[in-house]
Homo-oligomer: A and B are copies of this chain.
Amino acid sequence: MSVTELKEDVLEKITYGFYILTTRVSRTELSTREKDYIAAGTISWLMQTSFEPPMVTVAVHKDSDLNETIGKAGAFAVNVLGKDDRSLVDDFAGDSKIDGEKINGYHFLKGTETGAPVLDRGLGYLECKLMDTISNEGDHVLFIGKVVNSQLKEPEHQPLHEWETGKHYGGFAE
């Protein structure tokens, strides 16, 4: 086994959940578009990084639509998937299809603080104001967001854990 394979294995022992990351750029900031631009995608690489103020950090692939859009929007929302939300993992893994008030067939509302889409699925969501963007030699960008609004919709439900799905984030679907 090569050193690279060993590295991969230890890294795959890190524990994650699944989240749908969403963001929206208003059409007023996009002179070439008649509609707001929305990006959404499944992510695993997310964690809290401060209690006071509450902040989270998320890693997004450099080549992804989310990366470009979050930078322009200055905000994002995190929709936390529960055990009943497995289908969303794959449904948000590729390009997003926006149709009226649906993304990839799932209803969403406009987050009151950031305008980012918040799904009517999942245990709850966080709306985050982008505080810092960290880009280095790695293939992902780190977005640090301050939580400016949140709603817990399913307090008794358990989050979906990566290990129980048999799916492991293996990079960006080109």
**Which A residues are within 8 Å of any B CB, using their own CB?**
3, 6-11, 13-17, 45-57, 59, 80, 82, 123-126, 131-132, 134, 136-140, 142, 144, 147, 150-152, 155, 158-163, 171
Copies in the complex: 2
Pair B49/A162 contact, Cβ less than 8 Å: no
Pair B54/A7 contact, Cβ less than 8 Å: yes
Q: Bound state CA distance, A125 and B147, in angstroms?
A: 32
Pair A162/B15 contact, Cβ less than 8 Å: yes
Q: How close is A113's CB to chain B, nearest CB, in angstroms? A: 11
Give the one of A11, A52, A55, A140 with max B CB within 10 A: A11
**Cross-chain contact of A13 among B139, B147, B159, B162 (Cβ < 8 A):** B159
**Cross-chain contact of A136 among B7, B123, B132, B147 (Cβ < 8 A):** B132
Which residues of B lie under 8 Å from residue A13 when comparing CB positions?
A: 17, 80, 82, 123-124, 152, 159
